[in-house]
Amino acid sequence: MILNVSKIINNPGSSMELSFDEKIDFIECGKEKIKLIEPVRFVGEISCGDGKELYLTGKLNTRIELPCSRCLQPVEVTIELSLKEYFTKKGNLKADDEEFHPIEGNEIDLGPVFIKDILLNIPMKNLCNAHCKGLCPKCGQDLNKGTCNCKEDVIDERFAVLKTLFNGSNS
């Protein structure tokens, strides 16, 4: 997603309207790969502030596939977010300047920016449905598809005496 900004880079107050779809198959996140079901859609604008910095604003959306947090079945998740990103020439970047992305020559690479924003907006918990029962912690059976033969009421012998504290006392 390389964008040529030569028309606006040294022209304070100028801007370019942007609208495009970019197909990305996977996003690598550590050892995992996140599958993108739909292309990344972006509609927005990039504008030049003072001739040295560019400002990208707009809306980004896509659909990704993630495992259910309880049963590990694939779940489609819609990602919709508003972007506000800043770019400056490499020579103007400071070592600790995380707000700005580099402009190399007359081009900026929007790919890493979009991927970072998608990763930061993935929900912490994804469920296939609100009533997902998950997996049996002993045998791994998907409890949404059926029950397993694991003994449910396993009590640690060290705590068995605590169970008698509440039996027969209604006061």
Q: Where are the domains of the chain?
A: 2-120
Mean of per-residue pLDDT scores for the chain: 87
- What is the predicted pLDDT for the residue at 2? 87
CB 81 within 8 Å of CB 94: no
- What is the predicted pLDDT for the residue at 104? 82
- Please tell me the distance from the alpha carbon of residue 26 to that of residue 37, in angstroms, as a whole number: 9
CB proximity list for 66: less than 8 A, separation 6 or greater: 34, 74, 75, 77, 122, 126
- Please tell me the distance from the alpha carbon of residue 69 to that of residue 6, in angstroms, as a whole number: 45
pTM: 0.78
Q: Comparing 84 with 150, which gets the higher pLDDT?
A: 84
